[in-house]
Structure 1
Amino acid sequence: MSSPWIEGLRSVALFVPDLARAEAFYTQTWHLAVAHRGDDVLYLRGTGDDDYLLALHQGGDAPQVRQVTLRARSREALDALCESAVAAGGTLLAAPHALTRDPAGGIGMKFKDPHGRVFQVVHGDARREADAPMADMPIRLTHAVLNSHAVDDTKAFFERAMGFRLADRTGIMAFMNCNRDHHTLAIGITDNDALNHIAFLMPDFESVMRGGGRMKDAGHPIQWGPGRHGPGNNLFNYFIDPFGVVIEYTAEVEQVDDSYVSRGPEHWKWPPGRIDQWGIAPMPGPELKAAQRQVLFAPA
């Protein structure tokens, strides 16, 4: 299962109200490292080969999503995406051009979907030599979940514009696949178009758990977890950052190929009181559910 154009998720860019506070949290508590600094922007990396995976821009009073950046399989894919995004009902914001202001460089294009979500797609961006996996430090982004008030329309756009395929669908989410990871983007089925959460891949189960303890010690309790999801089979601990952005530590994401059979909500049903495979974590509380609805995309 793979997109002909999209290789995977590279990074997410956010506007945050306090860049210094964001740096302190994401380096000292979340355990990312500073990759680059710019005027009112900070770029953070994990241990993997992505030059950076989180860009934090100084913004207004509330956090917003600036863009979600995906990586293209080829330079030619960028031209194909210009056509497919528009044909699917999106708006082209920037044709392929040299990303001279991005520290990772490369060639990029940008578009907006019909509901205002902004995607950048890059090719030829810088890769760093990956570090050996470090316990308790994220490697890369594994997925981003974006809410939709019109899930079927959003699903169709992801398929037509970017070549994603439906991996699985539950009563609350549609999981979209572009590579070996079970899902790279997912669509939260709700009544708004906010960022649901960003998932950071950890090396192993131990790191997901130790990260949960470290976050709790720092005053950021686990909002949901520990547990193991159904679709994707991944481990999880969910948290809320200082500004209200929902972030996840995850590991052991299911790897799939063309033999994987997509299943619907009738398959992904849990017994009463259970919401994951293990059934030991309490149901997500109102604080997490509210946070999963509040971070919107900035107008493009």
Structure 2
Amino acid sequence: MLDRHDPHAGLHSERGALAGEHPGRAANPVIKVHDVAWLEFEKPDLQRAEVFARAFGFTPTLSTGHELHLRGTDPGAPCVLIRRGTRSRFLGPAFRAACLGDVLRLAKVTGRQVTRLPDALGGIAVDLADPSGLRVRVVSDVDELPALPSQQPHTLNVGHEVLRVNAAQRPPRAPARVQRLGHIVLQSTRYRQTLDWYLEHLGMIVSDFLFHAGQRQRGPVMSFIRCDRGTTPTDHHTLALTLGPTNRYVHSAYQVADLDALAAGGEYLREHGYHHSWGIGRHIEGSQIFDYWRDPDGFMVEHFSDGDLFDHTVEPGWAPMTASGLAQWGPPASADFLGVRPGKESLRELRAVLAALREDNEFDAQRLIGLLKVARS
């Protein structure tokens, strides 16, 4: 009886595929990328970008009048690269290959040239284009920055398990220290082509599929995709793809130590006048605790903690896409997060919908109806 009134009943996607549905992986991929390396942007005001980056919890490793590199506390390359440009735009992601030979193999199969990266990064890269037209860079042998001191998770008294005695809990209201880049979410008008491209070229595998209610027979409209590192567990999703009326960046997510770091860091951002988009809550697909913000250029960025880790044995789950299914607990998804807040952005999205319906792509009238049902659910 309770399940009939539970808005989350049936939304958890541990249930697998039906006969003939997408397997969620390629039979013989060209390579298998190891992880996401960094994201690249252009912005007109690098000083403003750096002020927000410090408040969000990044540490700059390079800051000039023309370029800004941002890192987390984990060892490795910077996780965000920003160049000065005439307008704000997302340039594309970079993925880290398992070895130099994989970059060479990918270049040979695709007919692309291998190039050397700038001295500030080191290593080599091959630049590809996915079916949405996005530049996708695969890199190897980049310089490894040493780890920085990180925020330590708080000691918690959970239930009757007492670990903290005669010590008060006082999380500082300060920037959450970003540990690493976790994932990137992209929207495509050619979702299925783009999904298959990442599986076939980069060897990624699907953790969960979402479909529009009543349209499962037409196939999924969103996928949460992880790196395949065999028996080594990896993030539930390093890349998420969704079908929509434009090809665009949706958001990127950065891991912090724990809920206290996330919440106190959010209060710091709020006190400094930054725009909160949605949170705090816990997602269903991926299970991570989340909090979403917008930077001064309008890009959505997420603090997250406590996400799922899967190895290569876990097969894709399938579930209907709904707004209420975005979180196990937390406030309802905001109009800003869903992209339906009245204003310039919603007008641009409306124009994009009308344009997409006139073009030859996967976003048709039936998909539009499904998307509207998602926003109302």
Distance apart, 1:237 and its partner CA: 0.5
Q: Does 1:289 align with 2:355?
A: no
* Residues in 1 aligned to 2:276 and 2:93: alpha-carbon distance in whole angstroms: 25
- Counterpart position of 1:177: 226
The answer to whether the 8 Å contact 1:139/1:200 transfers is yes
Distance apart, 1:255 and its partner CA: 0.7
The answer to whether the 8 Å contact 2:277/2:336 transfers is no
Residues 72 and 47 (structure 1 numbering): CA distance in 2 closer, same or farther, change over 3 Å?
Answer: same
Q: Does 1:139 align with 2:179?
A: yes
> Which of the two has greater strand per residue?
1
* Residues in 2 aligned to 1:236 and 1:71: alpha-carbon distance in whole angstroms: 25
Distance apart, 1:83 and its partner CA: 4.3
- Counterpart position of 1:19: 46
Residue number among 201, 206, 211 corresponding to 1:161 in the alignment: 201
What amino acid is the match of 1:64? Answer: R
Higher mean C-alpha displacement, 168-177 vs 187-196: 168-177
- Counterpart position of 2:81: 55
* Residues in 2 aligned to 1:85 and 1:178: alpha-carbon distance in whole angstroms: 20
Three-state SS of the structure 1 residue aligned to 2:319 is: coil
* Residues in 2 aligned to 1:175 and 1:235: alpha-carbon distance in whole angstroms: 16
* Residues in 2 aligned to 1:287 and 1:237: alpha-carbon distance in whole angstroms: 11
Three-state SS of the structure 1 residue aligned to 2:106 is: helix
List per-residue Cα deviations over 1:42-77 (Å, max 9, x = no partner): 11111011231111111113x111221111101110
The answer to whether the 8 Å contact 2:284/2:325 transfers is no
Q: Does 1:71 align with 2:89?
A: no
Residue number among 143, 149, 155 corresponding to 1:126 in the alignment: 143
Three-state SS of the structure 2 residue aligned to 1:109 is: strand
* Residues in 1 aligned to 2:110 and 2:205: alpha-carbon distance in whole angstroms: 15
Distance apart, 1:274 and its partner CA: 5.6
Three-state SS of the structure 2 residue aligned to 1:145 is: strand
Q: Does 1:109 align with 2:126?
A: yes
How many residues align? The count is: 280
The answer to whether the 8 Å contact 2:209/2:317 transfers is yes
Residues 211 and 10 (structure 1 numbering): CA distance in 2 closer, same or farther, change over 3 Å?
Answer: same
Distance apart, 1:37 and its partner CA: 3.2
Structure 2 unaligned regions, length at least 5: 1-24, 153-175, 212-220, 229-233, 350-377
Residue number among 114, 121, 134 corresponding to 1:96 in the alignment: 114
- Counterpart position of 1:298: none
Three-state SS of the structure 1 residue aligned to 2:235 is: coil
* Residues in 2 aligned to 1:50 and 1:114: alpha-carbon distance in whole angstroms: 29
Residues 138 and 191 (structure 1 numbering): CA distance in 2 closer, same or farther, change over 3 Å?
Answer: same
Distance apart, 1:97 and its partner CA: 2.7
Distance apart, 1:38 and its partner CA: 4.6
Residue number among 107, 110, 114 corresponding to 1:82 in the alignment: 107
Three-state SS of the structure 1 residue aligned to 2:264 is: helix
Three-state SS of the structure 2 residue aligned to 1:222 is: strand
What amino acid is the match of 1:126? Answer: D
**TM-score, reference length from structure 1:** 0.86
The answer to whether the 8 Å contact 1:5/1:81 transfers is no
The answer to whether the 8 Å contact 2:278/2:337 transfers is no
What amino acid is the match of 1:109? Answer: V
* Residues in 1 aligned to 2:49 and 2:246: alpha-carbon distance in whole angstroms: 26
- Counterpart position of 1:89: none
* Residues in 1 aligned to 2:333 and 2:285: alpha-carbon distance in whole angstroms: 17
List per-residue Cα deviations over 1:6-44 (Å, max 9, x = no partner): 1101111100121111111112x1121110235611111
* Residues in 1 aligned to 2:322 and 2:295: alpha-carbon distance in whole angstroms: 30
Higher mean C-alpha displacement, 139-148 vs 33-42: 33-42
The answer to whether the 8 Å contact 1:198/1:248 transfers is yes
Q: Does 1:10 align with 2:10?
A: no
* Residues in 1 aligned to 2:107 and 2:115: alpha-carbon distance in whole angstroms: 12
What amino acid is the match of 1:25? Answer: F
What amino acid is the match of 1:81? Answer: L
**TM-score, reference length from structure 2:** 0.69
Distance apart, 1:275 and its partner CA: 3.3
CA RMSD across the alignment: 2.4
The answer to whether the 8 Å contact 1:237/1:248 transfers is yes
- Structure 2 counterparts to residues 221-240 of structure 1, below 5 A: 221-240=275-294
Percent identical across equivalent pairs?
25
- Counterpart position of 1:253: 307
What amino acid is the match of 1:13? Answer: E
* Residues in 1 aligned to 2:193 and 2:109: alpha-carbon distance in whole angstroms: 15
Rg larger in structure: 2
Distance apart, 1:228 and its partner CA: 0.9
> Which of the two has greater helix per residue?
2
Distance apart, 1:288 and its partner CA: 5.7
Three-state SS of the structure 2 residue aligned to 1:277 is: strand
* Residues in 2 aligned to 1:184 and 1:85: alpha-carbon distance in whole angstroms: 23
Three-state SS of the structure 1 residue aligned to 2:145 is: coil
